[in-house]
Each structure stands twice: as C-alpha cells, then as structure tokens.
C-alpha cells in the first residue's frame, strides 16, 4: 500500500473483520513478512491505531489469534477494525521513524501518546545561531531543526543549579542580547563571558566551549573530565600554567556536579539507562535514570496516558526519547521494568545507530532488578506528587517559578497597573494573588499624587515609580522589618507594561535598596512577553504556558481593578463638578450628600425638607441646593 491511502475517506458501512472471517483471512495473506507500518481503520474509515513491526504479517496476525491475550483496551479496538493498511519500509529504522511521524500526524485514539503538558523542563542549545545560547525551556517545538534539546528533567531546581554551575565553570554568554553597543559588560572582565557581544571570540572557538557543556547534558561528564585532564597536563608541560590552572578549576567544578549521585553497581563502567513507571487509572508517570560510569547523570520524567499495557508505554517513551538522541547518548544497555512489545526491533535500531550492540533486558533478580525497583519507587513518588499538583494553580506557579527562576513557588504575587484618560484622574491598582488565586482582601487603590501628571499630560513611568515607592517605603525605612515569612512581602511583583515601565520601577527600588530582595518582572500586552530587569529581550516563553497564563490572569485583574477605580473617580468628579458651584457645599458635605441620595438626579428631585435630612446639611444649605437646581 502507498502513503496516499492515509487520507480520510467517506463513511462506509463495512462490517468489522472479526465478523467476516473469509475477508479477514484474505487480508492477512496480503500483508508481507517485511518491516513496515500498519494502520487499522474503523467503520467510519478513521485511523484507530498505527503500529510498526519488523515482520508485518506476524504482528498483525497476532491481534486476531484466539490464543493471544489482549488487554481490554486493545481487544475493544480489534472488534472495531474494518480495514488494515500497511506501508513497507526498507529497514526497521525507517519503520520506527515513519510510525512516529504518522502517530504525530493522525493521533489515533488507541495509540499510546506521550502528553506534552510542559510539566518538565528541557535544556536547549541553539546550534542554529552563530554563537549558540543555552537556556531552560518547557517547549521543545519552538526550536529550529539544528537546535538540540536535552531532557525532560524531573528536578528543575537541580537542572537550574547544573546550568548555573556550567556557566561558572566555562566562559559562556550570560545575556541573550548585549548590554552595551560598543563594549562588553562586567561579565567579560570577570572572566565569565568571552566577549560574545563584541565578537572577541570566534564562533568556532566558542562552539568548542559549548560542545563541552553539551557533553555534561549528554551524560559524558567523565569523558569530558578525561579530555580536560589531558589538556591540563599538556598545558603544564608547555609551561602555560595559567591555562593549566583554569582547566584544573573546570575539572574540579565538573567533579562537584555528580559528587553525591553515585549508584552502586558491580560493572560501573557500563553505560546504561533504567526505566520504570507508576500509573493510576488516568496517568502513567515514567522515570528514566541515565547511569554513566556508576553515576546518576540524569533523571528524566515523562507523562503518558495509562490506557495501555505497561510494556507498550515504556516502549513508546524509549522510542520518543532516543529518536533525537545522538549516537554517543545511547547506552549499551537498557534495563526495563516490563517486557517491551518490540524489544528486539528497538535494540536493532539503536545498535545500528550507535555502531555497537545495544541490549534491552527486563531483570528479575540481583542488582539490576534492585535498580529497576529504585526507579519504580521514584516513579511512584512522582505520580503521587503529580496527583497532588493536579490543581491548575499549583502547576501554573511551578511553571512561573521556572520561567523567572524563583527558588520556590511564588506564594504571594502582586500586580500593578495604571489607568487614566490622557492623564486625567490617574489611578493605580495593586492586586494580590495568593497560591494562584485572587486575594481581594489585600487589594489596594492609589490616587496618583505626582503634580506633573495632569489632564493632557500622562506619565505611566512616573506613576508606577510613585506607587511602588509608596507600597514599599516602610521596608526601605526599616531594613530590619521582616521579609521571609511575612504575609505582606511578595514573592514576585508584576508590572503591567514593557521595558520602560519595568525600568522605572527598578530605578526606584534601587534607590530604596530593595532591588536585591524583590523579584520584579513586567508583562507586555501586545505579545504577552515577559521582561526581566536589565534584559532588552523578553524571555523565551509561550503565551499558553501555565505560568504565563497565571501572569495574564494577574495582569487582567490589575487592569480591571484599575479601570473600575478610574471610572469611579471620573464619575465622582463629574457628579461633584456640578455640586462645586453651590456656595457653602464643600468636598466633605458633597460626599455626605451623594452618599445619602446616591445620584445627582435624586438630589435634583428632592424637596428642601428632604435635603435638610441629609447628614451635615442644614435648612439654610438645603435652600441653597434647592435654589441651584430650581432657579425659577
């Protein structure tokens, strides 16, 4: 069959193959005993399942044997199959790649699909750029073809630590965009950056440094240490002691990365991956431990639908994981919790790519079985944690903490916005989210007091600076005032606006000596971009990320609250503007009168006696008010 048979066709009324034995037998005879991909369709001609095999005929026949024990889910699928199509490939590797592409394209209901819920972060190296960047992201679909992703990692805090240490060990670009146009920043003087912004290092030399960092995320730390050790000895022999000392410090830093991650195995020279899962009735949490030279160099996490056999889930995870891996990243041994459906085929494909034999084993006893049990326990803990963190707000706070690199979840987040019409009635809002939910008891309004902000002359920068100064002035006045554990102290401050608004806030916080203690970001409306202080470019995020959505909800609430207060102030001013013309009726009595009658219309319709009944309004003033509205 050719690939043009994959298009969806009009609805048919063909009976399932299990109810037409002759047609089923004829169809099975037509399937060759070659590697390839098979597709199963239902009575509506929809693709229900896509699979692959090194021998198509044997695999497809296994679904219809009475002796074959199928899971309830697969048995239900088989009872609905009305047509079977196949695509023959030259090799098993092609079959594996074709199956993955077809599943992504059609997303059949009965296939085991990994969930791309952006729960776990990746490390991205942008090899597509002249000077590659290294950063953490939760979306691996935005990168270009040349870019390389590592992960997903279950421990985001450890991942940030490793990346931060890597930037200290090796001289890497510290900023996505240059701070100055004509000179490098302080990082160059400190030896933390080789001057990428001013091209003080060639792209070739810089890529060599990035390749060393890539080896850390490939699990080749020991190999990198061996290479650096040889370079250190050569530098010492050439009497280049400064270079030798620098390499020595790099080796020391690399050894500290995995100093406490030793895994006790008898043959610790073998590179191996161990995979196991824990599942409930909905989700399966999969853990994959990468062990190199007896050290745990990576702990990856995946989430999949649990509506399948454990072996099928593990196989899909392994196929997805190794699909984009370099040959040096593939271990020579893979230890699995359950027998895979196509272990032999996967082992053959990986062996061809690596250039040496790769074995897949499901141990039952001894040390390797204990290793699988350890991975399974971690998967159970991860499943339990996933169940506890299923609440959208908690997941959003986790994502937001990863985006802006917070050490802990942002328990209290404050959002600020300015509202006015060409400078008139300028006000500000402060809204507070606690644990991802609005805490309206902490909301505050501000009337802008800056004399330069008047009708016809607006200044959002100055207005925001004033509000932040008023909000945190008590902390500036008393440096001993408690921060940690103080329910009034925010974990994150969000400013509605772009780089300009953020800069004005940062300037006033620096004057108050609070910048080092407060984490401040801004969210621009146009493209939902997040800016950090001192950065000219926004963070690499998606508008639909849970953390970004949380900031958007905060921003929208701050905007709503500010606009509501502005409209209220404008309405009050319009109402009071008429009352200002009445002799003897000052601001305080205007408020009392409006509070009593609720509107100007009711005041106009009131009799002198009714007006005199209002608080603070005597009979004489009541006559003045009545005469103003009834001049005749």
Q: Does 114 have pLDDT greater than 80?
A: no
Answer whether residue 630 shows pLDDT above 50.
Answer: yes
CATH architecture of 399-568: 2-Layer Sandwich (3.30)
pLDDT at 182: 76
Burial label, 463 (beta-carbon count in 10 A; 0-12, 13-18, 19+): buried
Span 345-367, pLDDT tens digits: 899 889 988 999 999 999 887 78
Tell me the pLDDT tens digit for each residue of 51-73. Answer: 999 899 999 999 998 877 777 77
Q: What is the DSSP string of 586-631?
A: -HHHHHHHHHHHSSHHHHHH--HHHHHTSTT--HHHHHHHHHHH--
Closest CA to 472 of 521, 501, 513, 437: 513
Q: Do residues 55 and 34 touch, judged by C-beta distance below 8 A?
A: yes
Q: Decide if pLDDT at 11 tops 50.
A: no
CB 307 within 8 A of CB 73: yes
Lowest mean per-residue pLDDT among 144-148, 396-400, 443-447, 595-599: 595-599
Residue ranges per domain, the chain? 3-106, 122-257, 272-310+329-388, 399-568, 580-629
Q: What is the pLDDT of residues 564-590, one digit of tens each?
A: 887 877 666 665 566 777 877 887 888
pLDDT band at 268 (very low <50, low <70, confident <90, very high): low
Residue with tokens 């027998």: 339
Contact between 285 and 386 (Cβ < 8 Å): yes
Average pLDDT score over the chain: 84
Higher pLDDT, 453 or 262: 453
Segment 389-396 mean pLDDT: 75
Collapsed DSSP state (helix, strand, coil) of residue 20:
coil
Fold exhibited by the domain 580-629: DNA polymerase; domain 1 (1.10.150)
At residue 7, the pLDDT reads 46
8 confidence band (pLDDT: 50, 70, 90): very low
In CATH terms, the superfamily for domain 3-106 is: GIY-YIG endonuclease (3.40.1440.10)
| Two domains, one topology: 3-106 and 399-568 | no
293 SS3 class: coil
The Cα 50–Cα 73 span in angstroms is: 15
Average pLDDT over residues 24-28: 91
- Number of neighbours of residue 274 by Cβ within 10 angstroms: 25
Query: Is pLDDT above 80 for 544?
Result: yes
138 against 460, higher pLDDT: 460
């Amino acid at each position: 069959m050719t690939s043009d048979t994959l298009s969806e066709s009009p609805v048919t009324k063909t009976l399932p193959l299990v109810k037409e034995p002759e047609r089923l037998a004829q169809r099975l005879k037509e399937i060759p005993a070659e590697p390839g991909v098979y597709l199963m369709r239902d009575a509506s001609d929809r693709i229900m399942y896509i699979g692959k095999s090194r021998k198509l005929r044997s695999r497809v026949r296994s679904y219809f044997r009475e002796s074959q024990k199928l899971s309830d889910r697969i048995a239900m699928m088989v009872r609905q199959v009305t047509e079977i199509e196949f695509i023959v490939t030259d090799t098993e590797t092609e079959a594996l790649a074709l199956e993955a592409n077809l599943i992504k394209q059609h997303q059949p209901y009965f296939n085991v699909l990994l969930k791309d819920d952006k729960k776990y972060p990746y490390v991205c190296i942008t090899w597509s750029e002249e000077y590659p960047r290294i950063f953490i992201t939760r979306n691996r679909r935005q990168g270009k073809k040349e870019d390389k992703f590592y992960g997903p990692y279950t421990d985001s805090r450890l991942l940030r630590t490793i990346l931060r240490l890597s930037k200290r060990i090796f001289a890497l670009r510290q900023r996505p965009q240059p701070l100055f146009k004509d000179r490098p920043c302080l990082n160059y003087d400190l030896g933390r950056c080789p001057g990428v912004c001013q091209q003080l290092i060639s792209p070739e030399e810089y890529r060599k440094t990035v390749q060393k960092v890539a080896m850390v995320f490939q699990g080749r730390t020991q190999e990198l240490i061996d290479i650096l050790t040889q370079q250190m000895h050569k530098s010492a022999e050439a009497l280049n002691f400064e270079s030798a000392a620098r390499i020595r410090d790099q080796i020391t830093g690399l050894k500290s990365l995995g100093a406490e991650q030793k895994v006790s195995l008898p043959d610790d020279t073998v590179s191996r991956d161990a995979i196991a899962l824990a599942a409930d009735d909905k989700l399966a949490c999969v853990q994959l431990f990468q062990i190199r030279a007896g050290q745990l160099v990576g702990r990856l996490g995946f989430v999949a639908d649990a509506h399948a056999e454990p072996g099928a889930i593990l196989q899909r995870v392994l196929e997805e994981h190794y699909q984009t891996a370099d040959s040096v990243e593939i271990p020579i041994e893979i230890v699995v919790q359950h027998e895979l459906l196509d272990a032999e085929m996967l082992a053959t494909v990986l062996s061809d790519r690596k250039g040496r034999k790769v074995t897949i084993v499901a141990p039952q006893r001894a040390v390797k079985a204990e290793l699988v049990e350890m991975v399974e326990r971690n998967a159970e803990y991860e499943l339990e944690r996933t169940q506890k963190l299923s609440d959208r707000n908690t997941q959003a706070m986790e994502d937001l903490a990863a985006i802006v690199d917070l050490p802990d979840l942002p328990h209290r987040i404050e959002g600020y916005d300015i509202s006015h019409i060409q400078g008139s009635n300028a006000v500000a809002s402060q809204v507070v989210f606690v644990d991802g939910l609005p805490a309206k008891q902490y909301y505050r309004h501000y009337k802008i007091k800056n004399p330069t902000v008047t009708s016809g002359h607006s200044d959002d920068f100055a207005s925001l600076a004033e509000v932040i100064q008023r909000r945190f002035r008590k902390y500036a006045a008393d440096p001993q005032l408690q921060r940690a554990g103080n329910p009034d102290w925010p974990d994150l401050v969000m400013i509605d606006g772009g780089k300009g608004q953020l800069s004005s806030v940062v300037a006033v916080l620096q004057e108050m000596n609070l910048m080092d203690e407060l984490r401040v970001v801004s969210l621009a409306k146009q493209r939902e971009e997040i800016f950090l202080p001192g950065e000219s470019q926004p963070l690499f995020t998606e508008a639909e990320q849970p953390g970004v959505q949380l900031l958007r909800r905060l921003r929208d609430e701050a905007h709503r609250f500010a606009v509501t207060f502005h409209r209220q102030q404008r309405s009050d001013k319009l109402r009071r503007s008429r009352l200002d013309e009445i002799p003897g009726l000052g601001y305080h009595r205007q408020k009392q009168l409006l509070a009593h009658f609720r509107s100007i219309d009711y005041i106009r319709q009131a009799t002198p006696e009714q007006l005199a009944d209002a608080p603070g309004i005597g009979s004489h003033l009541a006559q003045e008010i009545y005469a103003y509205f009834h001049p005749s």
